[in-house]
Amino acid sequence: MESTDNIPDAPDLGKTLGWVGRSEAFRQILETVKQVAPTNITVFIFGESGVGKEMVARALHELSPRRGKPMLTVNCGAIPEGILESELFGHERGSFTGAQDMRRGYFELADGGTLFLDEIGELPPATQVKLLRVLESREFMRVGGSRMRHVDVRLIAATNRDLDASVRRGEFRKDLFYRLNAVRILVPPLRERREDIRELAVRFAEDVCRENHIRFQGFTEDAFETLENYSWPGNIRELRNVVERVIVLGKGKQIDRSILESEIREPVEIEPNLPVVTHKTSEQAERELIYRALLDIRISLEDLRRILIAGAPRQIKAYEEAPPMPKDASESTVKRMEKDLIEKTLRQFKGNRKKTAQALGIGERTLYRKLKEYGIDQE
C-alpha cells in the first residue's frame, strides 16, 4: 500500500483533482478519498443521479498505485440481462448463439487496474453470485468456459438506490452487500450543499467559454442567488447543463435572474431518486408507475373531450355518451394499456430504448424485460 503522505490535504487535493467546493460535505469526501485511494479496499459510493459518483471513482483510481493501469466503467443498468454476464466475465467461442469468437470481459480487460460498476443495484441474482466469488477469490470463469481465471482488479461500486432496503426485501444479496460495503462514501445531493453552487457555476462557465471560444460577461449577484435557491433535482449534471445552455444561447452576455428563471422552474413535488420502502414488489411498483402515467393521459383526454363538447356538442354526441373508462381496471386491461403505451413511446423515439425508458420513468433493464414479456419488436 502506498503512503498518503504524498497526497495533498483536502483543500489542495481539490485543486489537484480539478474539483471545486467549500462545503463540509465536500471536504469530508476529499478526506475519505485521500485515506482510501492508496489501498486496494473495495469502495461503495452512494448518491442520487448526477451528483458526481463517477468523478469520485476516477479520483480513487488516479490517486492509487493502479493509476498507470486501465479504469473501466460499466453501467449495470444499461446492459440487457441476457448479455450482462458475458460483458463482465467474457465468453468462449461457441458458448451461445452468436458467440463466433472468444471475448474477454471487463474483469480481464481491467486486470491490474480498477473496475467501476455503476448502478450495481440492477445486477440480476445470478450475476450477483458470480460477482461475490470474484470479490472473495479473485477468480472467475468465462461463460461457456471450463478454466478458472485469476485477476487483480480493484472494484468500486455505486448506486442511486437504497440498497439497504433492497437487501431487506431480498432483492440484493446480503453477503454481496456486506462484501462491497467495506468503505462507504455518500455524495450528498446539491440541494444539501448549496454553498458549493456558486463555485461550480463559475467553473462550468469557464469550461464552456474555453471550449466554445466565448467571451462571457459573468453572473449578476441575483443570478447566483437564483442558482443557490433552486433545488437542483438533477444535481451537478443539471447545473452544468443549465450554465452551458444560458451562456451558449446568450452568446456570452451577462446572466441575471430573469434569464435563469426562464430556464429553471421548481418542480411541483421533489421526489428523491433513492426510493422509500413501500412494501410492494418491484413488479407491482413498476406497474403502478406506468398505470399512473396512463391515468394522467386519461385525465388529459377527458379534459380535451369536455372542451370539444362545449364547442361542438352535436358532432361528438356519440363520444359524449360513450361509457367512461372504469376506475379499477382489471389486470389484463392494465397489461394491455401498458403494452400499448410502451409501443407508442418506443415509436415516438424511433426505437431508442434509453429515451423510451426515461420518458416512461422506468429503468432501461425494466423496459427490456417488458419488451420480452409482451413480445414487442425491438428493431
What pLDDT, on a 0 to 100 scale, did the predictor assign at position 17? 80
21 and 135 housed in the same domain: yes
Same domain, 309 and 246: no
Asked whether residue 68 is domain-assigned, the answer is: yes
Determine, yes or no, domain membership for 220.
Answer: yes
Query: Looking at the structure, do residues 27 and 160 belong to the same domain, yes or no?
Result: yes
Q: Are residues 227 and 357 in the same domain?
A: no
For residues 224 and 300, state if they share a domain: no
Do residues 65 and 137 both lie within one domain? yes
Identify the domain boundary among 162, 188, 214.
188
Same domain, residue pair 46 and 77: yes
> In terms of domains, do 184 and 241 share one?
no
Mean pLDDT of the chain: 81
Residue 204's CATH number: 1.10.8.60
pLDDT digits (tens, 9 = 90+) for 18-42: 888 889 999 999 999 999 999 999 9
Judged against a pLDDT cut of 80, whether residue 4 lies above it is answered with: no
Domain-terminating residue out of 129, 163, 188: 188
Q: Looking at the structure, tell me whether residues 184 and 195 fall in a common domain.
A: no
Q: Residue 103: which CATH number?
A: 3.40.50.300
Domain closes at, from 129, 154, 188: 188
Answer yes or no: is pLDDT of 278 > 60.
Answer: no
Q: Given the C-alpha cell 479504469, which residue does it identify?
A: 71
pTM, two decimal places: 0.66
- Same domain for 196 and 298, yes or no, is no
More confident residue, 7 or 286: 7
Instruction: Tell me whether residue 332 is in a domain.
Output: yes
325 assigned to some structural domain: yes
312 occurs within a structural domain: yes
Question: Does residue 379 lie within any of the structural domains?
Answer: no
Write out the residue range of the structural domain in which residue 249 sits. 191-261
Q: For 68-92, write each residue's pLDDT tens digit.
A: 999 999 999 888 877 888 889 887 7
Are both 179 and 290 inside the same structural domain? no
Higher-pLDDT residue of 201, 336: 201
Question: Domain for residue 72, yes or no?
Answer: yes
Share of residues in the chain with pLDDT > 70 (%) = 76
So what's the pLDDT on residue 322? 42
Residues 196 and 144 in one domain: no
User: How many domains does the structure of the chain reveal?
Assistant: 3
pLDDT above 80: residue 237? yes
Q: What is the pLDDT of residues 302-343, one digit of tens each?
A: 545 554 444 444 333 433 444 444 444 455 666 777 788 888
In a domain? residue 158: yes
